[in-house]
Chains A and B, each alone.
Chain A
Amino acid sequence: MAVLMEEEAPNTCKQVLEALPLRGRLIHAKFAGGEFFFATPIFAELENPTRKQNPGNICYWPTRQSVCIFYKELPGVGEVTLFARITKNLEGIQREGMKGWIKQGAPIEIVRVTRSGSGGI
């Protein structure tokens, strides 16, 4: 589970919420390190730009219209929009990340889990 950062990245959060459920298959980063990502049909401008990443950060990468999930601390190779943070089961995400380095393509689906108050996905 993750909490949306609607104050820091309002437009990206709005576009992500409108596009839910987001479905994809995980691609592992080749340069950046402990990160995987998947394609979205969203075009959003850079907000809340973040380079250095912490485990559990969920970002939107405008250059590739992708949602990126970071499972390790990384110095980062470029700025992306930090729009959500994983709050539960980060360990499970980290396990999937390592599996994804060996074999890509695990299915992922992001859905909304709360309807009012702080957004959760």
Chain B
Amino acid sequence: MAAENLVRMIREERELIWETKPKEVDDALMRTMGTYGQSLFPALYAESTTRGLCLTLMCIRNTARRDATDLGTLKMVLTDLLNDSLAYLGWCGLDDTTALVSRACSEIDKIGSKKDFIDVLEQLTIYFNRLHYWIDECIPWYELVGVYEWAKKGA
């Protein structure tokens, strides 16, 4: 798969989730896979993992735009980052995103230029940005803040 096709694939996946909440988000946030069967920590891990990926992908994108960086190292860093993230994404129950990242990982080594590399990174960044906001929206932060402040008083 050429970089152009990889970019198109990620863009199409992003467009699918842009205005419609992906089913995997609801599924992931309902999972009671955390310690002692609770769903809070899987939800928080899904939120923090996707938020962290947004920031790290953007950082790599900005680094890749510097002349001093070489394509080979950039591809290794991105592949390692995404491969390391697969376990967390899967554990959080984001199965569609896990499949997308897995497909992207297998194609990164074939990217032939820094321009193509940056194109791929930008699509991935936008994808994770949108996904993260879907997850963020579904977590009842206001209620959690109340419980946290209440619990701190009793600590």
Interface residues of A (CB under 8 A from B): 23-25, 27-28, 30, 38-39, 41, 43, 63-66, 101-105
Known A-B contacts A23-B19, A64-B54, A101-B142; A39 and B126 likewise in contact (beta carbons under 8 Å): yes
User: Do A103 and B58 touch across chains, with their CB atoms under 8 A apart?
Assistant: no
Closest 6 CB pairs of A and B: A105-B137, A104-B137, A39-B130, A102-B142, A39-B129, A39-B133
User: Do A65 and B142 touch across chains, with their CB atoms under 8 A apart?
Assistant: no
User: Do A25 and B133 touch across chains, with their CB atoms under 8 A apart?
Assistant: yes
Chain A residues near B141 (CB, 8 Å)?
Answer: 28, 30, 104
User: Do A63 and B133 touch across chains, with their CB atoms under 8 A apart?
Assistant: no
SS of B interface (majority):
helix
Task: List 17 extra interface pairs beyond A63-B58, A65-B125, CB under 8 A.
Answer: A25-B133, A25-B137, A27-B133, A27-B136, A28-B141, A38-B133, A39-B126, A39-B133, A41-B14, A41-B126, A43-B126, A64-B54, A64-B129, A101-B142, A103-B142, A104-B136, A104-B137
Which residues of B from 123 to 148 have beta carbons under 8 Å from A?
125-126, 129-130, 133, 136-137, 141-142
Q: Is B16 interfacial (CB-CB < 8 Å)?
A: no
User: Do A65 and B137 touch across chains, with their CB atoms under 8 A apart?
Assistant: no
Chain B residues near A30 (CB, 8 Å)?
Answer: 141
> Least Cβ distance of A50 to chain B in Å?
20
Interface residues of B (CB under 8 A from A): 14, 18-19, 54-55, 58, 122, 125-126, 129-130, 133, 136-137, 141-142
User: Do A65 and B136 touch across chains, with their CB atoms under 8 A apart?
Assistant: no
User: Do B55 and A63 touch across chains, with their CB atoms under 8 A apart?
Assistant: yes
User: Do A66 and B142 touch across chains, with their CB atoms under 8 A apart?
Assistant: no
User: Do A65 and B126 touch across chains, with their CB atoms under 8 A apart?
Assistant: yes
User: Do A66 and B129 touch across chains, with their CB atoms under 8 A apart?
Assistant: yes
> Least Cβ distance of B12 to chain A in Å?
13
Chain A residues near B19 (CB, 8 Å)?
Answer: 23
Chain A residues near B137 (CB, 8 Å)?
Answer: 25, 27, 104-105
Chain B residues near A25 (CB, 8 Å)?
Answer: 133, 137
Chain B residues near A65 (CB, 8 Å)?
Answer: 125-126, 129
Chain A residues near B130 (CB, 8 Å)?
Answer: 39
Chain B residues near A27 (CB, 8 Å)?
Answer: 133, 136-137
Return 12 A-B CB contacts under 8 Å, by A number.
A24-B133, A25-B133, A27-B133, A27-B136, A28-B141, A41-B126, A43-B122, A64-B58, A65-B125, A65-B126, A103-B142, A104-B136
A25 to B136, CA, bound (A): 11
